[in-house]
Amino acid sequence: MNLIAFNFDKRIAFKFDKRIALGLVAFLLFWRPMIAQTDAVPIDTIEVTDFDRIDPVYISSSMDAAKRREYLILKRRVIKTMPYAKMAAMKMKAMEDKLQTIKGRRERSKYVKQCEESIKKMYMDQLKNLTIGEGQVLMKLLHRETGKTSWEIMRNYRGTGEAIFWQAFGSIYGHSLLTEYDPVLDHQIENIIKLERLE
């Protein structure tokens, strides 16, 4: 039997068998995996992660160039259009409150037209310069901020006929007035809003 002697302070001598020392090292190295195998999760279970559902902000270092570019474009669109959606929600709330105090259909219609004209003067030039993608994001954000789709807003204030006309016109450019904001499907937009503090 091979013995190794260790002297400490020349008083205490420990004698170790090489086999015991190797056994101890092996136990320490493989102890954690052996414990992990005794957990409730079966050994043959494979964890599957849908990386398309994880917000790219948190995995940006592992994103490919195309996904990263797509995310940055979306971020730019949200930052650009969110102020318009918030302004629209604020104006709509003020208009709804005022309309409750106005009696008579003609007076209400006149007030809605005045509001529309003032909004056009203030924002039309900027809104005309939005790209198709920015317009699509804006419609989602309008639904998020107001709780109503662009179709419902158009139908309530301009009538069903005009809503149908604009829906048909928008479909030529890939728009739909029925576009809704879904916090699950649009989780990237939601995360951008929170990270950029656009609330």
Instruction: State residue 75's pLDDT score.
Output: 95
Answer whether residue 196 shows pLDDT above 60: yes
> Domain for residue 138, yes or no?
yes
Is the distance from CB of 18 to CB of 2 less than 8 angstroms?
yes
> Domain for residue 25, yes or no?
no
> Domain for residue 18, yes or no?
no
Q: What is the pLDDT of residues 116-167, one digit of tens each?
A: 888 888 888 888 888 989 989 999 999 999 999 989 988 888 888 888 888 8
Q: Mean pLDDT, to the nearest integer, of 63-79?
A: 90
> Domain for residue 115, yes or no?
yes
Residues in the chain, overall count: 199
Instruction: State residue 77's pLDDT score.
Output: 95
Please write down the long-range contacts of 168-176, taking CB distance under 8 Å and 24 or more positions apart.
173/132, 173/135, 174/132, 174/136, 175/132, 175/135, 175/136, 175/139, 176/139
Answer whether residue 169 shows pLDDT above 80: yes
Instruction: State residue 112's pLDDT score.
Output: 86
Q: How far is CA 199 from CA 71, 78, 87, 196, in A?
A: 19, 12, 12, 9
Which tokens go with 78? 């949200």
> Domain for residue 189, yes or no?
yes
Instruction: State residue 26's pLDDT score.
Output: 54
Which tokens go with 174? 């890939």
> Domain for residue 129, yes or no?
yes
Is the distance from CB of 187 to CB of 55 less than 8 angstroms?
yes
Assign 22 a pLDDT band (cuts: 50, 70, 90): low
Q: What range defines the domain where residue 135 resides?
A: 67-195
> Domain for residue 159, yes or no?
yes
| Exposure class string for 53-92: b at 16+ Cβ within 10 A, else e | eeebeeeeeebeeeeeeebeebbebbeebbebbbebbebb
What is the Cα–Cα distance from 156 to 163, expressed in whole angstroms?
Answer: 9
For the chain, what is the mean pLDDT? 76
Q: How many domains does the chain have?
A: 1
Instruction: State residue 175's pLDDT score.
Output: 79
| Exposure class string for 96-118: b at 16+ Cβ within 10 A, else e | eeeeeeeeeeeeeeeebeebeee
Pairing of strands 12-17, 3-8: antiparallel
In terms of pLDDT, which residue wins out, 93 or 42? 93
CA atoms within 13 A on the CB side of 27: 6
What is the Cα–Cα distance from 27 to 21, expressed in whole angstroms?
Answer: 10
Written as one string, the DSSP assignment of 139-175 is HHHHHHHHSS-HHHHHHHHH-HHHHHHHHHHHHHTT-
Answer whether residue 176 shows pLDDT above 50: yes
Under DSSP, is residue 41 helix (H, G, I), strand (E, B) or coil? coil
pTM of the model: 0.65
Instruction: State residue 19's pLDDT score.
Output: 58
> Domain for residue 57, yes or no?
no
